[in-house]
A and B are shown apart, each in its own frame.
Chain A
Amino acid sequence: MTSQFKIATFYLYRMRQSWTTYLKELLEIVHYFYFAPAYHLILEGILILWIIRLLFSKTYKLHETYKLTEKEKEDLIEEWQPDPLVPPVSKDHPSLSYDVVTGHKITINGKECINFASFNFLGLLDNERVKQKALASLKKYGVGTCGPRGFYGTFDVHLELESRLAKFMKTEEAIIYSYGFATIASAIPAYSKRGDIIFVDEAACFSIQKGLQASRSFIKYFKHNDMEDLERMLKEQELEDQKNPRKARVTRKFIVVEGLYINTADICPLPELVTLKYKYKVRIFLEESMSFGVLGEHGRGVTEHFGVNIDDIDLISANMENAVASIGGFCCGRSFVIDHQRLSGQGYCFSASLPPMLAAAAIEALNIMEEDPEIFTVLRGKCKHVHKALQGIPGLKLVGVQSAPALHLQLERSSGSRDSDMQLLRTIVEYCLERRVALTLARYLEKEERFLPSPSIRVVVTVEQTEEDVHNAVSCIQEAASAVLK
């Protein structure tokens, strides 16, 4: 070892000397090696190889020692028994036999009824003008689009509908989706990513919940319509941000609320939300499936209802399946926000576009809504009337505000378990159905909902219902309630 070391130092020392001696040096090294004892060289050779091995060998892994042999693996595979693909469903599960509905004069299981269940607020489902427009479109374009928007699935009707919606809502741009549920569920994850924060109302509907889940953002639920709770959370966040300003600079923050909550039938306090928005610099996404075509002088929804400038809301989403009585959904707002979805909205990019006839039907529905804003006044009147009439049914409590077109009737006192509550309410619904009043239970996936709403009967108001219909229905519910809920 020492001899080698000497060689090295010697060599380094001589390195500084002129290049002419270089060759000589080399020869000298060879010379030294030649004369070094053999065992020395062998030993050092082994040491060098050892070092190389240590350098290049993989890190020592604990679990390698536990590595299963093929035989053991095989046994494990033999042994493994998966759960069944789906757990068995009891034969009498209420969802197994859906009521069969025929036509829109609504015949349920062969019985003609007054409809208090479909979200057909403006009665456009059966409108002759809408039908004719849809038929004309069908005769021109056929039914399907055979492609997503990007690949020859954009029809002139889609562009027209988008510009009409933007005009109707008085926003810069609108974008349409082919399915209502997918609209907000795609819109949220298009903006909010991992690490961002979303403040959301506890009563938010299921499609919002799915959007939140898909976004993988950090979700904070505030108490339903409780602005103090929201402000408390925003303040907390502000403090947090001050601690870590670098992170705060890239953490987007959103508030997601519904205009008119489908689960609770009440309206969000939008003006307060807008104040909070500017105070804490949070963006607002507003889901208006229930309020679009219902609230406001011209049916523009909750912004018009409160007189809030629509530009203050970053994104409004709604479906065209309730008041508009077609299929699909849309988002609208400033181009800066909306245009982003054309490449990032999953339900927009990767799905076939809306069948043109459904778009044409939606356009005609918008025409009707624009031509005659009186229809909204009529609807408001009916809502008020039904809301008043449903008060004070013994055993049942009405949930919802006066202007809500879809109200909930809950049990005043729970019978103890959710199942038996549901059963009681179902009996009431069936009783009414016998007497030709079509109601429905509000249905939820009990295990999937973040905050499961209490069981309720949904009562939907439409402009088609006459005073007599309402009277019939209310007395029917009353009778049923007194019979069932002694």
Chain B
Amino acid sequence: MTESSANKLLNGDACHRTSNAKKSSKNGFVKNHCLFQQPQKYRRPRERNQNVTHNSSLYKKPFEESFEETPLLVAVLTYMGYGILTIFGYLRDFLRHWSIEKCQVAREKEEQKDFVPLYQDFENFYTRNLYMRIRDNWNRPICSVPGAKMDLVESVSHDFNWTFEHTGRVVKDVINMGSYNYLGFAENNGACADAAIEATEKYGVGVASSRCEMGNLDIHEELERLVARFLGVESSMAFGMGFATNSMNIPALTGKGCLILSDELNHASLVLGARLAGSTIRVFKHNNMQSLEKLLRDAIAHGQPRTHRPWKKILIVVEGIYSMEGSIVRLPEVVALKKRYKAYLYLDEAHSIGALGPNGRGVVDYFGLDPKDVDIMMGTFTKSFGAAGGYIGGKKELIDYLRCHSHSALYAISMSPPVAQQIISSMKSIMGEDGTTLGADRLRQLSENTTYFRRKLREMGFIIYGNDDSPVVPMMLYMPAKIGAFGREMLKRNIGTVVVGFPATPIIESRARFCVSAAHTREMLDTALEATDEVGDLLQLKYSRREQPLPSLGWMAEESLLQD
């Protein structure tokens, strides 16, 4: 029943690893050829826990990630909650069927009643009966910059969330803990906005052609040169949409006879891209290097299924920060594996670019690795840069190939000029090329805010997932009723948070997610924390059963710095 929870090691604390990576067996012969030995003979089937590998030699600083076990009682109650919801759902569907309850679902056109139904009956059961109850927590329209504070359009529903009505009032100054505005570049004034205005005046907003035909503006070329410099790679290419960057370029890179090894929690765009590529896809457990290594070894040893021909190439697809878990990819280990097994590495830095690393250059920078070790550096401009679109960076041959074969280069529109300009200005600011230290300040502020916010929440007794350095902070809610309640209670206190449940998460692991931004001031964070504390008491969300959070050295240092 509690498959996921029971299988997690009860670690609670951060994972401290000991170094015994290369252990010889008794007779002096290295019996196990695996790079990463399995520390125990029995590994539990679905370990999402992070302290199973022992490769501290690869890390320059402690890699601390935790996923506290779901308390058994909570798990039982959560399942009961879903059970009750399902029973009531069936009851209400029954009532709707006999027109005892008014059915608000949009209906098929009369003339098309005898067509094959467009949706299976059960297909929308979840939407109708579970999602509809708490629908007001999503798609809340905003009417300002999605900065540290935002204005929401007040909307009410008189028919239990079937339709919403805008009252015309505005909920002012809601603290925004939901937008992916990590570095606070979502701004409507300042240098970046000014440059974007200029670009609009010069180029207009559209392009009306693809890169290959008539849509290659000089501003795109400038952007690509800058991105390559920022990432420390030979060349790069920019695309108009982040989602499409993945889904339209993976098919250009792999095809039949290739193998894609994909993390189980990879984003939908990566999954779609892999599927469109027509390659074989195998999934390894989230951030689990043993699982990845086993797949790699078996794949190379056994070749393609049925024909047993060797694979043409193997592509490992991972993300920098996983946005639902707040975990950071174990990149040093992935790189070691990739080198050992001659696979290629596709790194999606949608959330990590700009948000991690001393220079804001993403997860490669964070671990102090060489960008050349990652074959395909992908990322988006939506988050840290406050713009839109995505990029791919890598060797010149790779980018040249993409210029000729990427679906996006030939068939899709190129990036809007003001958007490109926004990226150029914000990236230059991060790199310090605008002649100020504003970018560096933002980076520092973000990492301070992250540490502070995570530590405070943990001290309050919430269960927080993920890496200590990740600005994505998932906080566990578990029960379906608490999803809606948490979102609403927080909004009442003028704080906008994101709540997520099934199917975006495993069924019992509903959670709230905070995205810390450099734009948040200490007061804003304190207000948010206070409200969370209050709501946490009200809804009994303080599930954590750990004695006391272990103060790590990193925190101490940070703390003393802050007090100085």
B residues less than 8 Å from A103 (CB atoms): 202-203
Q: Are A145 and B146 in contact (CB under 8 A)?
A: yes
Q: Mark A331-350, 1 if CB is under 8 A from B, else 0.
A: 00011110110110011011
A residues less than 8 Å from B311 (CB atoms): 80, 82
Min CB gap A329→B, angstroms: 10
Q: Are B413 and A181 in contact (CB under 8 A)?
A: yes
Q: Are B416 and A327 in contact (CB under 8 A)?
A: yes
Q: Are A82 and B342 in contact (CB under 8 A)?
A: yes
Q: Are A101 and B180 in contact (CB under 8 A)?
A: no
In angstroms, Cα B120 to Cα A429, docked, is 52
Min CB gap A444→B, angstroms: 7
Min CB gap A213→B, angstroms: 6
Q: Are A311 and B109 in contact (CB under 8 A)?
A: yes
Known: A98-B403, A144-B382. A281 touches B116 (CB 8 A): yes
B residues less than 8 Å from A321 (CB atoms): 206-208, 413
Known: A125-B208, A151-B498, A206-B411. A86 touches B268 (CB 8 A): no
Q: Are A86 and B397 in contact (CB under 8 A)?
A: yes
Q: Mark A348-389, 1 if CB is under 8 A from B, else 0.
A: 011110110110010000000000000000000000000000
Chain A: how many interface residues by the 8 Å CB criterion?
A: 121
Q: Mark B166-191, 1 if CB is under 8 A from A, else 0.
A: 00000000001011110001111100
B residues less than 8 Å from A156 (CB atoms): 141-143, 153
Stretch at the interface among B37-45, B79-87, B237-245, B431-439: B237-245
Q: Are B276 and A117 in contact (CB under 8 A)?
A: no
Q: Which of B141, B275, B376 contacts A154 (CB 8 A)?
A: B141
Which residues of B in the span 125-161 have a Cβ within 8 Å of any Cβ on A?
127, 131, 138-147, 150, 153
B residues less than 8 Å from A46 (CB atoms): none
Known: A155-B143, A281-B116. A147 touches B178 (CB 8 A): yes
In angstroms, Cα B342 to Cα A85, docked, is 11
Q: Are A151 and B400 in contact (CB under 8 A)?
A: no
Q: Which of B214, B300, B381, B398 contacts A118 (CB 8 A)?
A: B214
In angstroms, Cα B186 to Cα A361, docked, is 19
Q: Are A146 and B382 in contact (CB under 8 A)?
A: yes
Q: Are A77 and B203 in contact (CB under 8 A)?
A: no
In angstroms, Cα B200 to Cα A355, docked, is 13
B residues less than 8 Å from A152 (CB atoms): 140, 142, 146, 150, 176, 178-179, 496, 498
In angstroms, Cα B145 to Cα A336, docked, is 32
Q: Which of A86, A206, A440 contacts B213 (CB 8 A)?
A: A440
Stretch at the interface among A66-74, A218-226, A392-400, A408-416: A66-74
Q: Are B398 and A86 in contact (CB under 8 A)?
A: yes
Q: Are A138 and B142 in contact (CB under 8 A)?
A: no
Q: Which of B181, B206, B404 contacts A93 (CB 8 A)?
A: B404
Q: Are A144 and B386 in contact (CB under 8 A)?
A: yes
Q: Mark A424-450, 1 if CB is under 8 A from B, else 0.
A: 000000000000001011111100100
Min CB gap A211→B, angstroms: 10
Known: A82-B343, A104-B204, A146-B386. A355 touches B118 (CB 8 A): no
B residues less than 8 Å from A139 (CB atoms): 188-189, 193, 197
With both beta carbons as reference points, the residue of chain A lying nearest to B269 in the complex is identified as: A350
With both beta carbons as reference points, the residue of chain A lying nearest to B342 in the complex is identified as: A82
Is there a chain B Cβ closer than 8 Å to A456's Cβ? no
Q: Mark B100-114, 1 if CB is under 8 A from A, else 0.
A: 000000111101101
Is there a chain A Cβ closer than 8 Å to B375's Cβ? yes
Is there a chain B Cβ closer than 8 Å to A4's Cβ? no
Min CB gap A141→B, angstroms: 6
Is there a chain A Cβ closer than 8 Å to B201's Cβ? yes
Stretch at the interface among A36-44, A247-255, A297-305, A469-477: A247-255
In angstroms, Cα B388 to Cα A179, docked, is 10
Q: Are B269 and A351 in contact (CB under 8 A)?
A: yes
Q: Mark A138-175, 1 if CB is under 8 A from B, else 0.
A: 11111111110111111110110000000000000000
In angstroms, Cα B382 to Cα A178, docked, is 12
Q: Are A350 and B150 in contact (CB under 8 A)?
A: no
Q: Are B118 and A443 in contact (CB under 8 A)?
A: no
In angstroms, Cα B112 to Cα A86, docked, is 49
Given contacts A150-B139, A321-B206, A325-B208, 6 further A-B contacts (CB under 8 A): A99-B216, A118-B208, A130-B204, A143-B196, A143-B419, A144-B146
Interface residues of B (CB under 8 A from A): 31-33, 106-109, 111-112, 114-120, 124, 127, 131, 138-147, 150, 153, 176, 178-181, 185-189, 192-193, 196-197, 200-218, 221, 240-244, 247-248, 251, 253, 267-269, 272, 275-276, 297, 300-301, 310-314, 341-344, 375-376, 380-383, 385-388, 397-398, 400-405, 407-413, 416, 418-419, 422, 496, 498
Interface residues of A (CB under 8 A from B): 68, 70, 72-74, 76-77, 80-89, 93, 95-96, 98-104, 106, 108, 115, 117-120, 124-127, 130-131, 134-135, 138-147, 149-156, 158-159, 178-182, 191, 205-207, 210, 213-214, 248-253, 278, 281-283, 311, 314, 319, 321-322, 324-327, 334-337, 339-340, 342-343, 346-347, 349-352, 354-355, 357-358, 361, 438, 440-445, 448, 458
In the assembled complex, 19 residue pairs joining A and B whose CB atoms fall closer than 8 Å, in A order, are A80-B310, A82-B342, A85-B344, A86-B402, A93-B404, A95-B403, A100-B221, A106-B214, A125-B206, A138-B418, A140-B145, A146-B181, A155-B141, A155-B142, A181-B407, A181-B412, A281-B114, A346-B268, A358-B416
